[in-house]
């Protein structure tokens, strides 16, 4: 198998006859197991904040991350280097990465000063990559900031709208927030609309991890511009639980797919009693159909055959005897946890820590025996106990966003690796972190 | 040179617009569509809502680049059988960079490039800085804030070049001395008369004197 495959998995393999049913269906686009031999050429703009607040270790670390990206690029890639403070400086115009020393010299020359013209910096980056968009390459602006946009355009909706328009035109945006004072609402909105990733580091030391992760992801891409279309019979009601954006014709925009991963969505389908059958068992009812469109690394559009889910109707005793699909249940729980985290973030911004604690308690209960979800809730509780509003807000929002749109490990891939050694064997973009803003210290020590 | 770049900051009356459109039609090879641009046709299109109304400046009605593009789109779509009302609706509701998509040969830029230009133009009036004090840079680097001394702003009206912001990434650096670098818009320089160039020189001298005085004050 060397092409992504589309699957539909219901939480229950049957409908309960004579009753209203609520059924979660996992829609997943699985990447092939094989690693890409040649990764897609990258067309990147690295846009670094060098405002006064970045002085010292944050700027040193940001420069180290930029150098890291440059070192991983090759002569088939393009890169531009932009810095911004009160204004914007184009340090290296977009060029093929044949002379890395040119980039390193420019990176070493960056010093800190001024305020934060974040939008201008981002736009300069977009201007650098846009002439070089090609169907067989991947174009992205990588924007780093530790502060609030306070020069030039600062309106979140307007900036996000521009990110969305440029994403439609082929320029995606990933954002990296650093420290306590960056605007997480802006950075998340930009990356969501810009169809890139959102990362943050609590300290400068935590910044390299997400850079590595993003680069690993870009290096292992196998499908981009993934669009999902769903349809149900008119009697049914369906909603996607993930917070994916929809394009102009209603298709859900899924994350780009990388080797070993699966892009997924949970669809909650409400089926009225009249549609649930009479427990015939052998007669199947059509529940949901899904189709995807995506582009491969050469830019060729693919539209694999539509997949349909049809389920039998069972009487109560037979229905209760069949087990639910744990993977689907786990994903639905994950999305519930993500929603709770976003509610907790809002409560923390209101200063309502009592509500935060209640929500986190609910999150732990919801996690049941899922160690990861429990761990995430515990980490959030530690921050909540410190009444650190900025830190809690960032961690809860990034964690929620990640759960809503992360690439999961594809079943065919998990079957091919030793799961006991998950942290070292898994590609970084498939790892599930307990804390979004903290580097994986264990990995770092290794 | 691409006509969009050449006429980007064009302004003129209805008769000048008709003449300009005829030139562009020749350049684009659209002469054979059977309809010659004329003042009457321009006014008719304005009445029909296919072109934006011109700006009033004193007793004159001034058209711009937007109306050039709208006219070309209107001609092209009308030939294609579009109803005039629909063309007007499209022209009114579509952003300029995307409207250029509809003109055959209208743009050599891709959609992302046109969006970047649009966003830069939308943002620039808010971002322009009147100060050059922050623009000390190592050779080869672009200034982070390109501005003008106040004296120069007063002289804009006398220049042939419209007082439009330059795109920072297209500026060319002139090294007047190892310690003095000037960034210029090559397109604007092309349009300057000898008189304006000399005027610019005097402004530069004024700026240096002012800067020297400011530096002295700060010591």
Residue of A436, A397, A383, A373 lying closest to A202 (CA atoms): A436
Q: Which residues of A touch B (CB under 8 A)?
A: 84-91, 93, 109, 114, 117, 119-120, 123-124, 126-131, 133, 139, 151-153, 162, 165-166, 168-171
In degrees and rounded to multiples of 5, residue B80 shows phi and psi of -80, 0
CB A287, CB A23: distance < 8 Å: yes
Q: State how far the Cα of A195 lies from the Cα of B113, in Å rounded to an integer.
A: 18
Query: What is the rounded CA–CA span in Å between residue A181 and residue A147?
Result: 5
- Residue A3 pLDDT > 60: yes
| Residue B47, number of CB atoms within 10 A of its CB | 10
Quick one: tokens of B46?
A: 């304005």
Give the residue among B210, B172, B208 at the shortest CA–CA distance from B188.
B172
CB < 8 Å to A89, chain B: 137, 141-144
Yes or no: say if A238 and A268 are a contact pair by the CB < 8 Å rule: yes
Higher pLDDT: A128 or A444? It is A128
Weakly modelled stretches of chain B, pLDDT under 70:
1-2, 29-34, 104-108, 124-173, 175, 178, 186-187, 190-191, 210-219
Both tokens of residue B123? 């943002």
| Contact partners, residue B53, CB within 8 Å, separation at least 6 | B46
**pLDDT greater than 90 at residue A398:** yes
What are the two backbone dihedrals, phi and then psi, of residue A165, each rounded to the nearest 5 degrees?
-65, -40
Residue bearing the bigger pLDDT, A420 or B9: B9
DSSP letter for each residue of A24-37: EEEEEEEPPSSPPS
Residue B214: its pLDDT value, please?
Answer: 55
Tell me which chain B residues have a C-beta less than 8 angstroms from the C-beta of A164. Answer: none
Provide the CB-side half-sphere exposure for A324 (13 A, CA): 16
Strand-pair category, B60-64 with A221-231: unpaired
* Of residues A86, A91, A119, nearest to B134 (C-beta): A86
Which position has the token pair 């970045």?
A54
pLDDT of res. A416? 64
Residue among A84, A88, A171 whose CB faces B112 most closely? A171
Instruction: Quote the pLDDT of residue B187.
Output: 67
Chain A contacts of B113, Cβ < 8 Å?
Answer: 127, 130-131
Are the C-beta atoms of residues B190 and B1 closer than 8 Å to each other?
no
- Which residues in chain B are contacts of A109 at CB distance < 8 A? 138
CB nearest to B168's CB, from A88, A130, A162: A88
What is the SS3 assignment for A303-359? Answer: CCCCEEEEEEEECHHHHHHCCCCHHHHHHHHHHHHHHHHHHHHHHHHCCCHHHHHHH
**How far apart, in whole angstroms, are the C-alpha atoms of residue A93 and residue A335?**
41
| A233-257 pLDDT tens trace | 999 999 999 999 888 788 999 999 9
**Cβ distance of A169 and B137 shorter than 8 Å:** no
CB contact under 8 A, B123 and A85: no
What size, in residues, is chain A?
446
**A416 is written with which tokens?**
């091919």
CB pairs below 8 Å between A and B: how many?
83
- Model confidence pTM above 0.80: no
What residues in B contact A124, CB-CB < 8 Å? 168-169
Min CA distance, B152 vs chain A (Å)? 21
Which of A94, A120, A132 would you mutate first to test chain B, the one with the most B CBs within 10 A?
Answer: A120
**Per-residue pLDDT, A8:** 97
Pairing of the two strands A138-145 and A172-178: parallel
Q: Tell me whether residues A86 and B145 touch, CB distance under 8 A.
A: yes
Phi, then psi, of B213 in degrees rounded to 5:
-65, -45
Torsion of CA B130, B133, B134, B135, to 10 degrees: 90
Residue found under tokens 């990388």: A258
Both tokens of residue B163? 């007082």
How far is the CA of B163 from the CAs of B122, B152, B158, B185, B206, in angstroms? 15, 11, 10, 12, 20
Residue A446 binned pLDDT confidence (cut-offs 50, 70, 90): very low
What band does A33 get if pLDDT is binned at 50, 70 and 90?
Answer: confident
What contacts A171, CB < 8 A, 6 or more positions away?
A126, A129, A130, A133, A139, A140, A141, A194, B112
| Residues written for chain B | 219
Smallest CA-to-CA distance from A331 within A262, A281, A275 is with: A262
**Residue A29 in tokens:** 């686009």
CATH class of domain segment(s) A5-31+226-324: mainly beta
**A366 alpha-carbon distance from chain centroid:** 22
pLDDT for the residue B95:
80
Tally Cβ neighbours within 10 Å of residue B33. Answer: 11
Averaged pLDDT for residues A349-364: 95
Q: What is the pLDDT of residues A118-130, one digit of tens each?
A: 999 999 999 999 9
- Do B144 and A128 lie within an 8 Å CB cutoff? no
Under an 8 A CB cutoff, do B110 and A151 touch? no
Mean model confidence pLDDT for chain A: 89
Higher-pLDDT residue of A340 and A411 is A340
Do residue A152 and residue B123 have CB atoms under 8 angstroms apart? yes
Where in chain A do CATH 2.60.40 domains reside?
5-31+226-324
Given 3.40.1800.10, 2.40.40.20, 3.40.50.410, 3.90.1300.10, which CATH number is that of A42-219? 3.40.50.410
Cβ-defined contact of B110 to A131 (cutoff 8 Å): yes
Domains in chain B: boundaries: 3-124, 128-218
- Biggest CA pair distance of chain A: 74
**Would you state the structure tokens that stand for residue A277, as one six-digit string?**
């059958």
**In chain B, how long is the greatest CA-to-CA distance?**
72
Of B111, B126, B141, the CB nearest to A169: B111
pLDDT value of residue B137: 32
Residue B134 DSSP class? T
Tokens of A44: 């990147």
Does residue A404 have a pLDDT over 80?
yes
d(CA A166, CA A195): 10
Share of chain B above pLDDT 90, in %: 13
Rg (CA), chain A: 23
Which of the residue ranges A94-103, A327-336, B175-184 would you say has the lowest mean pLDDT? B175-184
Considering Cα of A219, then A222, then A225, then A227, what sign does the dihedral take? Answer: negative
What's the gap in Å between the CA of B110 and the closest CA on chain A? 7
Contacts of residue B133 in chain A, CB cutoff 8 Å?
Answer: none
The SS3 call for residue B105 is: coil
Q: Please give, rounded to a whole number of angstroms, the shortest distance from the CA of B6 to a CA of chain A.
A: 19
Beta strands A195-201 and A172-178, pairing class? parallel
The mean per-residue pLDDT over the stretch A383-393 comes to 93
Residue A231 bridge partners (DSSP): A289
User: What ipTM, to 2 d.p.?
Assistant: 0.80
């Amino acid at each position: 198998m060397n092409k992504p495959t589309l699957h539909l998995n219901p939480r229950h393999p049957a409908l309960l006859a004579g009753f209203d049913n609520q059924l979660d269906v996992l829609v997943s686009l699985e990447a092939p197991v094989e690693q890409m031999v040649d990764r897609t050429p990258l067309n990147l703009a690295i846009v670094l904040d060098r405002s006064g607040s970045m002085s010292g270790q944050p700027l040193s670390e940001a420069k180290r991350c930029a150098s890291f990206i440059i070192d991983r690029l090759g002569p088939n890639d393009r890169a531009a280097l932009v810095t911004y403070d009160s204004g914007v400086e184009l340090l290296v115009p977009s060029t093929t990465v044949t002379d890395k020393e040119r980039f390193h010299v420019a990176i070493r020359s960056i010093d800190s000063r001024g305020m934060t013209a974040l939008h201008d910096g981002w736009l300069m980056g977009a201007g650098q990559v846009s002439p070089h968009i090609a169907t067989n390459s991947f174009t992205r602006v990588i924007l780093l900031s530790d502060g609030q946009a306070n020069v030039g355009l600062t309106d979140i909706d307007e900036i996000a709208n521009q990110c969305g328009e440029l994403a439609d035109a082929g320029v995606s945006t990933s954002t990296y927030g650093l420290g306590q004072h960056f605007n997480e609402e802006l950075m998340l909105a930009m990356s969501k609309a810009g169809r890139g990733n959102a990362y943050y580091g609590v300290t400068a030391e935590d910044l390299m991890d997400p850079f590595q992760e993003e680069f690993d992801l870009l290096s292992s891409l196998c499908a981009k511009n993934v669009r999902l279309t769903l349809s149900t019979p008119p009697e049914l009601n369906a909603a996607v639980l993930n917070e994916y954006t929809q394009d102009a014709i209603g298709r859900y925009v899924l994350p780009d797919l990388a080797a070993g991963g699966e892009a997924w969505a949970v669809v909650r389908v409400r089926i009225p009693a009249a549609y649930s059958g009479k427990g015939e068992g052998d007669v199947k009812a059509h529940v949901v159909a899904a189709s995807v469109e995506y582009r491969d690394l050469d830019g060729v559009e693919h539209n694999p055959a539509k997949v349909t889910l049809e389920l039998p109707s069972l009487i109560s005793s037979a229905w209760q005897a069949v087990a639910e699909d744990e993977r689907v249940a786990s994903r639905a729980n994950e999305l519930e946890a993500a929603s709770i985290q976003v509610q907790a973030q809002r409560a923390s911004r209101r200063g309502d820590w009592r509500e935060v604690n209640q929500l986190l308690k609910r999150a732990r209960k919801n996690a049941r025996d899922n160690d990861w979800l429990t761990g995430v809730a515990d980490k959030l509780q530690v921050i909540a106990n410190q009444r650190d509003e900025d830190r809690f807000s960032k961690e809860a929002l990034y964690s929620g966003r990640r759960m809503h749109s992360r690439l999961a490990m594809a079943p065919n891939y998990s079957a091919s690796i030793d799961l006991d050694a998950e942290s070292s064997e898994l590609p970084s973009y498939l790892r599930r972190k307990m804390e979004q803003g903290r580097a994986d210290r264990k990995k770092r020590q290794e | 040179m691409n006509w969009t770049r050449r006429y980007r900051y064009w302004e003129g009356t209805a008769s000048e617009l008709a003449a300009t459109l005829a030139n562009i039609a020749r350049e684009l090879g659209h002469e054979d569509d059977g309809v010659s641009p004329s003042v009457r046709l321009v006014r008719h299109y304005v009445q029909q809502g296919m072109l934006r109304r011109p700006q009033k400046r004193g007793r004159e009605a001034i058209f711009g680049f937007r109306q050039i593009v709208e006219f070309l789109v209107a001609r092209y779509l009308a030939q294609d059988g579009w109803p005039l009302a629909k063309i007007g609706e499209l022209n009114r509701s579509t952003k300029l960079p995307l409207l250029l998509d509809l003109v055959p040969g209208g743009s050599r830029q891709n959609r992302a490039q046109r969006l970047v230009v649009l966003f830069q133009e939308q943002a620039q009036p808010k971002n322009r800085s009147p100060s050059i004090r922050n623009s000390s840079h190592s050779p080869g680097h672009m200034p982070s804030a390109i501005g003008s001394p106040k004296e120069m702003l007063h002289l804009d009206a006398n220049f042939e070049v419209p007082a439009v912001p330059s795109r920072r990434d297209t500026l060319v650096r002139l090294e007047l001395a190892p310690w003095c670098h000037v960034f210029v818009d090559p397109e604007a320089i092309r349009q300057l008369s000898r008189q304006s160039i000399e005027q610019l020189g005097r402004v530069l001298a004024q700026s240096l004197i002012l800067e020297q005085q400011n530096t002295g004050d700060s010591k």
